[in-house]
Structure 1
Amino acid sequence: MTAPSSSFRLLRRAFSTTPPPAGGSAATLRSAHDFLYKERSLKRLVAQFKKSSAFDHFRTKIGTYQYAVRRLASARRFDMVEEILEEQKKYRDIAKEGFAVRIVSLYGRAGMFEHAQKLFDEMPGLSCERTVLSLNALLGACVNSKKFDKMEELFRELPGKLSVDWDSVSYNTVIKGYCAKGSLDSAISMLDEMEKKGLEPDLVTFNTLLSGLYLGNRSADGDKIWARMEEKNIVPDVRSYNAKLHGLVSQKKMKEAVETIKQMRMKGTDPDIFSFNALIKGYAECGNLNDAKLWYSEIGKSNFDPDKMTFGMLIPLACQKGDVDFAYELCEEIFKIQCLVDGALLQLVVDELVKESRIEEVEKLVQLGKVNKYRRYSLLLPASK
């Protein structure tokens, strides 16, 4: 029997379900990395992650750690999150504050604050120094885990206990927490407090406050914070403008919102998809399809693609206004750019086409749904007349 050809061996390897060995070579680590992203079995993912963690180079892969924790937490397998993160205490890296902080932060991202605090408390016993970097990671874990009362407690007590002063990152984290909690007055008071302590607020500080205030229907206070930002000669970026746009749109001030886009461009800041979606949202809520289409066309002139939110606003509006041609064009664009949307949105267009007996276009959409890589589209069927 002849030996298999090299091409056959490559194909067999590509479709093999056996995890790659956790070796130390760059090629093997790349193989292990690819396996983790493709593996469907969470048990095998955890087993391979633990094996790969034994190698120094793998432990530098911050993105891979974030991916694994995010995936396990999304599946609510917090026991597995604990399994792979507790494994990290075996290695000498745990004595480095940067590595330990990463694990604390990952626990926070998974909403596992108690585990984050446990590791923080263990750091001295692991020969790991705790500086403001560690404290900020614990504060961040509080915010990500929505433990806002605990955040306040730690913020007031930890500096005295550990003889460590908070920095600007600390205040930015607490401001973010107060905004997430909806305690906007407390968030503003943190800005005042940090300035009294001689800490300079930065663009992150102001953007966090602007987002909280404008999205929290506190536009007047948002405008005051904007003025303070300008007084400090901090140049707003696209996120700053997007927060302001949402505030204007929520108040139905569409002329001012359009003027804000013009100001952005004049000052060298290009709108992004969130900027365009804000304008589209405003006009869609007013039932103004023409202006919504105008701002949709602006997306086509930019470097951005429309997203799920764009289509979710425009398709129902187009169907409501009887512009089935535009709704159909939007569906074609969805498939063209491979944007993941709910099948019900496409079904809405199919139903409108069926009402007008446009069967050829119905069949085309249904076929596109069947061959599209997203399974939810394959469920698309024309409604009965």
Structure 2
Amino acid sequence: MSKATEVTSIRRLAGLFNTSRSSATNPAVPTAAAITSSKSIDEVPKFQNLVHRFKKSSKSSKFRNYNRTAYFNTVLRLASAKQFSLIDDILQHQKKYEEISQEGFVIRLMTLYGKAGMYEQAHKLFDEMPELKCQRTVNSFNALLAAYLHSKKFINAGELLEQLPEKLGIEPDLISYNTVIKAYCEMGSMDSALSMVDTLEKKGLEPDIITFNTLLDGFFSRGRIVDGDEIWGLMEKKNVVPDIRTYNSKLRGLVHGNKVLEAVEFFEEMKNKGIEPDIHSYNALITGYCDEGNLEQVKHWYGELKKSYKPDRATYCKVLSFLRKKNEFEMASEICKEAMDRRLISGVTWMDKLVSESRIEEAIQFVESGLSRSALKLRFP
């Protein structure tokens, strides 16, 4: 393809993305550049308006008690935009309502603070509970631990478990210990995580499937297969039955340790024991063969996955990245169209790849055969 033809084709391609299929009925459809520009205008007033509307809705007891999704989505949206002061504004606003004296309601607010990474505000609310005439129990204490965990303040979670219960007269339960075990695993302090198992047993508690799955994730994800197998053996001695998450932990561990053939054998062993593989099981094997560069096996296991499940976003991203490296453009285009139709990915990265490889006509055919709303998000200079 000549340079002149390539330039013309790129312009044609850009034109496809800047024209909506609905433009015939709505001639004022904005271009991608215009949409991008408009998004950067008046962001703060937009979020302030969101907060205003949320506060107005909060006046309804029905909204406060039965619309938890609205609370979660609003906080998540503000957190993604780093509007933390506005999150504090709407959650502080909830103190004016009678539900603030109910521990379950306070736990919800603490959980939202935690999801936003605002552990200090969650702790402040926990400290204020007596003033709000709200009793503190192990449940709100666990919510506080979870807030520190979600905020990635892992070591602080362990310190809270060590210091607060005796001070407040609260007896930690299995959830408390499981939360701190998770925190230690996340920070890679596996010895500390194991010590928690000893501690909870001394308190008369027994580790459950959550305890063991957390530990197995921690060990296997670091390629410590032998240690993971020892934990597995301990789990069986305590008559705790492995579930699909348990098996997936080991599958991922074997893949992480570059033992893909062993992972396949373990996959078959799992099926023979009556454990039905889920999409994460297949994704683990696909990841292993992608990392090995084995195109034939990636195609095989992708096909096996599709017999039982629809690929998720992780599947699409992994397989598309691999196929691009292998220059398998035809298969990748088909998969990308499917993922776009399901609105799991946009075609930006794939189209960039086609253009960078000077595969302009393929890019045009891709757009013309699979144009969707998500495709309209693509932008070219």
| TM-score when normalising by structure 1 | 0.81
- Aligned pairs for 1:350-369 (under 5 A) are 354=359, 359=361, 361-367=362-368
Distance 1:332 1:131, change over 3 A: same
Task: Tell me the distance in 2 between the aligned counterparts of 1:260 and 1:177.
Answer: 28
Structure 1 CA distance, aligned partners of 2:329 and 2:118? Answer: 48
Asked whether the 8 Å contact 2:111–2:146 carries over to 1, the reply is yes
Partner residue, 1:139: 145
Equivalent of residue 266 in structure 2, options 260, 263, 281: 260
Amino acid at match of 1:200: E
Cα distance in 2, alignment partners of residues 146 and 184 from structure 1: 16
The answer as to 2:94 corresponding to 1:93 is no
1:296-311 aligned within 5 A: 296-302=302-308, 304-311=309-316
- Residue 282 of structure 1: aligned partner: 288
Please tell me the root mean square deviation across aligned C-alpha atoms, in Å: 2.1
Q: Is the 8 A contact 2:336 2:347 kept in 1?
A: no
Q: Aligned pair 1:374/2:341, yes or no?
A: no
SS in 2 for 1:165: coil
Partner of 2:344 in structure 1? 339
Once the two structures are TM-superposed, the CA of residue 136 in structure 1 deviates from its matched residue by 0.7
CA distance in 1, matches of 2:125, 2:192: 29
Distance 1:200 1:62 in 2: 32
1:172 corresponds to which letter in structure 2?
N
Q: What displacement does 1:342 show?
A: 5.9
Structure 2, unaligned stretches of length 5 or more? 1-44
Deviation track 1:164-216 (CA, whole Å, cap 9, x = no partner) reads: 11100000100111111121111111112212221111111111111111112
Q: Hey, what does 1:315 align to over in structure 2?
A: 320
Is the Cα contact below 8 Å between 1:72 and 1:81 reproduced in 2? yes
Distance 2:103 2:280 in 1: 36
Gaps of 5+ in 1: 1-39
Q: Is the 8 A contact 1:342 1:376 kept in 2?
A: no
Determine which structure has greater relative contact order: mean sequence separation of CA pairs < 8 Å that are 6+ residues apart, divided by chain length: 2
Matches within 5 A, 1:118-197: 118-197=124-203
> 1:284·1:314 contact (CA, 8 Å) conserved in 2?
yes
Counterpart secondary structure, 1:248: helix
Q: Secondary structure at the match of 1:301?
A: helix
Q: Equivalents in 1 of 2:156, 2:376: separation in Å? A: 41
Contact 1:353–1:362 (8 Å) recurs in 2: no
Q: Deviations over 1:88-133 (max 9, x none)?
A: 1111111111111111111111111111111111101111111111
* Matched-pair contact (CA < 8 Å) for 2:212–2:235: yes
Aligned 8 A contact 2:219 2:228 in 1: yes
Letter in 1 for 2:140: S
Does the aligned pair in 2 maintain the 1:315–1:349 contact within 8 Å?
Answer: no
Partner of residue 223, structure 1:
229
CA contact (8 A) 1:346 1:380 kept: no
Are positions 1:43 and 2:44 aligned together?
no
Cα distance in 2 for residues equivalent to 1:329 and 1:375:
14
Deviations 1:196-252 (A, max 9, x none): 221111111111111111112222211111111122222222221111111100112
Identify the residue that residue 61 of structure 2 maps to in structure 1: 56
Among candidates 246, 254, 263, match of residue 248 of structure 1: 254
* Contact in 1 for aligned 2:223/2:254 (Cα 8 Å): no
Query: CA 1:46–1:252 in structure 2 vs 1: closer, same or farther (change >3 Å)?
Result: same
Provide, for residues 125-152 of structure 1, a one-character-per-residue CA deviation record: whole Å limited to 9, x for no partner.
1111111111111111111112223222
Q: 1:267-309: per-residue Cα shift (whole Å, max 9, x none)?
A: 333222222111111111111000011110012101x322333
* Cα pair distance change 1:41/1:238, threshold 3 Å: farther
SS in 1 for 2:112: helix
Does the C-alpha gap of structure 1 residues 260 and 196 become closer, same or farther in structure 2, counting only changes over 3 Å? same
Q: Which residue of the partner structure matches residue 107 of structure 1? A: 113
3-state SS of 2:333 partner: helix
Contact 1:210-1:222 at 8 Å conserved across structures: yes
